[in-house]
Amino acid sequence: MITCIDTHTCGEPTRIVTGGIGFIPGDTVAEKMLYFQENLDWLRTMLMHEPRGQSVMSGAILTEPCDPAADVGVIYLETGGYLPMCGHDTIGVCTALVECGMVLVSEPVTVVTLETPAGLVEGRVKVENGVAQSVTFTNAASFVYDKDIRADIQGLGEVTLDIAYGGNFFALVDAHDVGIKISPEYYWAIRRIGTKIKDAVNEVFPVVHPEKPFINAVTHVYFIEQPVAPGMSGKSAAIITNGDVDRSPCGTGTCAELALMYSEKKIGLGEVFVNESIIGTTLSAKVVSESSVSNFPAVICEVEGAAYITGFHNYVVDPMDPLKEGFLLQ
């Protein structure tokens, strides 16, 4: 039996695996992720895919940390594969750890350090009467990988984009340039165009993280639009690994966008950026310091948002079930 806590952050789900997986070998959480991917991937499809999951299902496996500075190790997974880092999942994990008493809770702020495949991530949970009000996490270093790339996209012609890293590699595209708006009525167009761009970029522009070579693909396309709602700084829609649309503003995508904006002097240190999703939910973020990743100038970003527990689940696998490992209809 596999035990899980489900949460959502800005409308995007997280299935947090708390027990039943057993020990995962590896000297780092990154190695644990690679072991899980190679040997236990059926557990990912079972938990993320139908009939237990759905197209935008995302998850986090809690495991023993390898770094003594960390409280918990986290492996991020979703319907389309594995992620070195995930912002909305991090907010969900920190919320569940506090509200379920899985870490020592202190008010008004509980600090939780996660060891992720992307590195150490510190979460600061605002707590009132034992309830998590919000989570602010300090992300791994974000940086611009390449700018003003021109890609030939089938049915669209030449599209100009930037590639930036915010915990995952993103192709950042102006939504206006490809004839879409970030709103629910453009949902299918966003999926279709985003998938075409992601496939074309990975075919022509290989990427490799200079310090973590297992991060070696553009996994997301991140559409950017000027906001219209009062108080918003930006509006975005991210295409996730399986080609669906993130319901949240995407925490790691927001960090990638801030890295690009900071490199272009469009935002300064400490300036709050409020990012709106396709369904109108928001995350806030800011650049808190400069850094570097190998030869790339980088920034350290903080992201703030709230998550909510939606359920507690015990999952089993019937060996007679022909769909025991799940399926995904797209």
Residue positions annotated with a catalytic role = 86, 250
Interatomic CA distance for residues 128 and 272, integer angstroms: 24
Structure tokens at 175: 């939504």
* Amino acid, single-letter form, for residue 177: D
The beta strand positions in 96-217, using DSSP E, are: 109-116, 119-128, 131-138, 142-153, 157-165, 169-174
The beta strand positions in 54-141, using DSSP E, are: 58-63, 72-78, 81-83, 109-116, 119-128, 131-138
User: What's the number of CA atoms in the CB half-sphere (13 Å) around residue 100?
Assistant: 18
User: What is the torsional sign of CA 141, 164, 293, 272?
Assistant: negative
What are the angstrom distances between the C-alpha of 292 and each of 141, 210, 261, 324?
A: 7, 11, 16, 45
Whose CA is closest to 305, among 283, 280, 281, 330? 283
* Amino acid, single-letter form, for residue 123: G
Report the DSSP pairing between strands 169-174 and 12-19: unpaired
Asked if the peptide bond before residue 227 counts as cis, ω within 30 degrees of 0, the response is no
Interatomic CA distance for residues 168 and 216, integer angstroms: 9
Question: The tokens 């340039």 sit on which residue?
Answer: 177
